[in-house]
Structure 1
């Protein structure tokens, strides 16, 4: 690592910066019901953060009939799309992203959302002018907890793993970052509790973007500057 190497912050978006976790849960529940899969909502919620390639195995079992998988995934996307014009950023989300950029950090949205969904999320946040890079599902062969999307985010922004932190809201975010030896600062605004996030290995845990912003100078992010 050279002294002048850039530092950066990688942001998960769904449930971390935009209030979508429960909307995704409902959308998956509706899609499952369309194809006679009765999956409890609480189980779905705990799987949010995985991509569809992992989520279906996790919730439906790897020995299932996979013939309708594509239709279930499309069903989730269709249901979730009905919420796009009502999406809202979580408290302090845009201000946190802008504060990180103002500190000289490269800012990357490391999302595994589809490109249309990623565009809706970016429109909700309104921070494109301070972003160094953005990922989407097309950038990852496997979704979280595999580290593919995190590795792509590093490459797109020309960042080194030892000079970044990942900000996420799920256990899957923490695990994906850890596979690249990247610290993860976790937020509970996606519905996962502080103890569970810390137990998965989160470097620090805050309530939401506004809470992290209020503590920014004392947070792990302060050590990146």
Structure 2
């Protein structure tokens, strides 16, 4: 087994967090659920099932859940062609790969969406493996996606670091005792990420890249 760096994608490598927020806000409004965007933003990173429970309560009528999820996907899909990588995303992945650890995308996006996200990042030449929602029974903060990413890449969990942007990323990593580096470019503050358990926080992929020699990633051996 080898060492590796696992990366969340949405909000960590691609600038999508607020697009997801607006898409969920409108999808919920279409079904008479008026939830403030700030609350929705704090839930981004969960899968749709857990997000809806978190925002609407787990004792609600779930008959509209599939329609709300589909509405979100349609609204968010309108932005696909305008998605942009966050600063330094591809450069960070290539710098990590050059050091020797595997570069693994631990994403819970659907397969078609993940394909688009990978095109936006434009670093497939250094990506060892990538997960999608079909690889996990439960979404974050459950650790299923990270477990799938480890299995697909043959990465030793004791020689891994996870990079994410939400408290749900941090909580998922903690369940597997994987150190998590936080990026604030997804909209969560350094204080929020630190309270959830990150070992260090940076503004965006470019900032982590600039500090790579002093980061937990530097300690990983190929």
The aligned counterpart of 2:191 is 195
Deviation at 1:49, TM superposition (A): 0.4
The aligned counterpart of 2:115 is 119
CA distance in 1, matches of 2:24, 2:199: 30
Deviation at 1:175, TM superposition (A): 0.3
CA distance in 2, matches of 1:202, 1:148: 19
The aligned counterpart of 1:7 is 3
The aligned counterpart of 1:177 is 173
Uncovered stretches (5+) of structure 2, i.e. residues with no partner: none
| TM-score relative to the length of structure 2 | 0.99
Q: Check if 1:153 corresponds to 2:142.
A: no
CA distance in 2, matches of 1:46, 1:25: 9
Deviation at 1:160, TM superposition (A): 1.2
Counterparts in 2 of 1:129-148, with a 5 A limit?
A: 129-148=125-144
Instruction: Give the secondary structure class of the aligned counterpart of 2:181.
Output: strand
Per-residue CA deviations over 1:154-204 (Å, capped at 9, x if unaligned) read 000011110000000000000000000100000000000001101111011
Say which of 163, 166, 181 aligns to 1:167: 163
CA distance in 2, matches of 1:214, 1:172: 25
Instruction: Give the secondary structure class of the aligned counterpart of 2:26.
Output: helix
Deviation at 1:63, TM superposition (A): 1.1
Say which of 83, 88, 91 aligns to 1:92: 88
Say which of 60, 69, 72 aligns to 2:68: 72
Instruction: Give the secondary structure class of the aligned counterpart of 1:186.
Output: strand
Deviation at 1:53, TM superposition (A): 1.4
Question: How large is the Cα RMSD of the aligned pairs?
Answer: 0.6
CA distance in 1, matches of 2:130, 2:190: 27
Instruction: Give the secondary structure class of the aligned counterpart of 1:161.
Output: strand
Deviation at 1:6, TM superposition (A): 1.5
**Hey, which bits of structure 1, 4+ residues long, moved more than 2 A?**
none
Uncovered stretches (5+) of structure 1, i.e. residues with no partner: none
The aligned counterpart of 1:110 is 106
CA distance in 2, matches of 1:143, 1:71: 19
